[in-house]
Structure 1
Amino acid sequence: MWGRLFGLVLFGILAAAIAGGAWFYSWAVTEQPSPPSHSVLIESGGVNSVAQQLVRQGAVDSVPLFVLLARISGKDAELKAGSYSLKVPISPWMLLKKLGKGEVDLQMFSIIEGWNWRQLRQALNTHPYLKHDSANMSDEEILAALGISALSPEGLFFPESYRIDKGSSDFKLLARAHRLMQEKLDDAWASRKPDLPLKTPYEALILASIVEKETGKAADRPVIAGVFTNRLRQGMRLQTDPTVIYGVGEAFKGDITKAHLRTDTPYNTYTRAGLPPTPIAMVGEAALTAATQPAVTKAVYFVAKGDGSSAFSETLDQHNAAVRKYLRNN
């Protein structure tokens, strides 16, 4: 009798286990409704934290069951943070595989050649898919958080279109852009022409930023860099309007005046010799190459022709004639 009773109990346990397993399997492979936002944002954390975030956002309906599924499958240590698109219903099992593979919903953020730091910060702070961790921080605090030792963040981030995880920190993007700028600057400095009037890679970056802002036509970049290189060698002032405008800052309203040119600031290259203290813009690879490999030219002057290109002159008389010709036509 006892043997028969034990057998019945064992059968009952086995039947319950089979039924429970079948029910659990059915739960794992049955599609659940898409969350209201059609996406989920998973921050870093263990499997319990991930399951809680999924339930909170409406992607699954049970924390314990999702945790059990992750642990049974061995994927509990593979779950990756990020934003995941869930535009169609998905089963807990397929969602678990998606999180394990890190199939995040990628967005784009572009840093534009010639942007200044103020424009970059504005773009960061208004991008809908970035987490704005730097929004309320000063420039000094941002540099410290990134581990950058510099007077200013200006020019330190490479213009490029970056793929970003939806909901990722703007610091992550800035760190990537800074690393890429350092790589590009190091490569340009290593390939520089001999006897440049530049002492450091940072000075090359400053000159490149001026070339970036002065160039209307790509083919003119090396020659414009050659003009500024000649001026530096000869001890001439650079006398470039973009640095003056940068020094005026947000007060600049679109028209440069004689008052602007006469007002001394650290960036006024009409009143001060040499390079300004920092770059004035974000610099592309072509401008870096031009600054470190300038064209060989005797020109020390240039003026915009009105079509995006420039007219170059070797003497002040030639330059004055070009100014009369092209500025009168404009």
Structure 2
Amino acid sequence: MIRSRFLFMAVVVLAAVVIVGGTGAGIMRHILSRELPTNDTQYFYIERGSGLLRTSYLAQEKGLVSTRWHFMLAAQLLGMERSLQAGEYELGPSMSLRDVFDKIRQGERYFRRVAIPEGLSSKEVEVLLRQSFGLDTKGLVAPGEGTLLPDTYFYERGDQATSILKRMTGKQAELIAKLWDNRAPGLPFDTIDEALTLASIVEKETAVAEERAMVAAVFVNRLRKGMRLQSDPTVIYGITGGIALGRPISRADLNATTPYNTYRVAGLPPTPIANPGRQSIAAVLNPADVPYLYFVADGTGGHAFATSLEDHNRNVARWRQFERKSRP
């Protein structure tokens, strides 16, 4: 009798274990397969050095699971409790918790990007990097003017801003080295630094790609003739050091004594005034074969070019007439 009762109880306990285990597995399958409770794209960031417990708390805070234990149990069930790759992951509203773990397992991290427009000064690039979400800006200092290549740069959350600067300087050095070897003969400058200085002026003078080689030719022709460059952007740089002037340039600005005022100082400024892009660098190293010595805005976003001062003055008069008509 006692033996029969013992066998009966053993069967009951075994059955209970099977039932509970099956139920638990079913619950976990449900937790892993149901869609995330969000209607928007969100970003799940696992910091470097985070363990399972800390990541589980974050998953709960982000609403990926209703309780951290679900995330912990799911990680253990999938054999990932020790292989949660650090990084940021982009999660969509139709994804499940299993999809989240699959992304982490496969290392499908989300890369952010920062676009550096042509013609920004190094100070402006520094400000842009400081405003870029997720970058560690510790130790960030504006580099030398003209040493960065404007482009779109991708990074991961938590990356050092200084590492992006290194990529910018490396790409610029690589580009200028290639272009320098194929430069036109007889240019009125001897070094890469001088080429970058002139390229930065071209960059600031026109945003029209088709004009850059002609604008470069104007400055190259003026240098050959010993004429002053008379570039407004150089004057502004001498006053602000690379920050926007915030107002129209004045006669007093043109008369200001700075090493960058190319109305008063002959030749090139001592350094670039911005970070030029590929097209401006290429234009300076291979300027258009034109005799122009002057240019002025033409009211369409481009410029009118002239060889003689007389023609240039007529273009200036047309520009001033356009300005008057455009005023409210």
* TM-score exceeds 0.5: yes
The unaligned stretches of length 5 or more in structure 2 are 324-328
Other-structure match for 1:288: 281
Matched, 1:223 2:214: yes
Structure 1 residue matching 2:304: 3-state secondary structure: strand
Given the alignment of the two structures, is residue 142 of structure 1 paired with residue 140 of structure 2, yes or no?
yes
Aligned residues: 314
Aligned runs of 1:174-323 on 2, under 5 Å? 174-249=165-240, 252-323=245-316
CA contact (8 A) 1:82 1:168 kept: no
8 Å contact from structure 1 (residues 34, 86) kept in 2:
no
Aligned equivalents of 1:34, 1:236: Cα separation in 2? 69
What is the distance in 1 between the residues matched to 2:303 and 2:177? 29
Larger Rg: 2
TM-score by length of 2: 0.74
* Structure 1 stretch displaced more, 270-279 or 252-261: 270-279
1:158 to 150, 153, 159: 150
Whole-angstrom CA distance in 1 between matches of 2:214 and 2:95: 59
How far residue 87 of structure 1 moved from its aligned partner, in angstroms, is 2.8
Which one-letter code corresponds to 2:208 in the other structure?
A: K
Instruction: Note the C-alpha offset of 1:261.
Output: 1.0
Spell out, residue by residue over 1:131-184, the C-alpha distance to the aligned partner (whole angstroms, 9 max, x if none). Answer: 2533xx7xxx4248xxxxx534x5614134x55556766556545544443443
Q: 1:81 aligns with which of 84, 87, 96?
A: 87
Distance 1:67 1:178, change over 3 A: farther
Alignment RMSD (CA, Å): 4.0
Asked whether the 8 Å contact 1:243–1:267 carries over to 2, the reply is yes
Equivalent of residue 43 in structure 1, options 38, 44, 47: 47
Tell me the SS of whatever aligns to 1:302.
strand
Given that residues 46 and 85 in structure 2 are in contact (C-alpha distance below 8 angstroms), is that contact kept between their aligned partners in structure 1?
A: no
Q: Report the secondary structure of 1:303's partner residue.
A: strand
1:67–1:14 Cα change, 3 Å: farther
Match of 1:116 among 91, 114, 121: 121
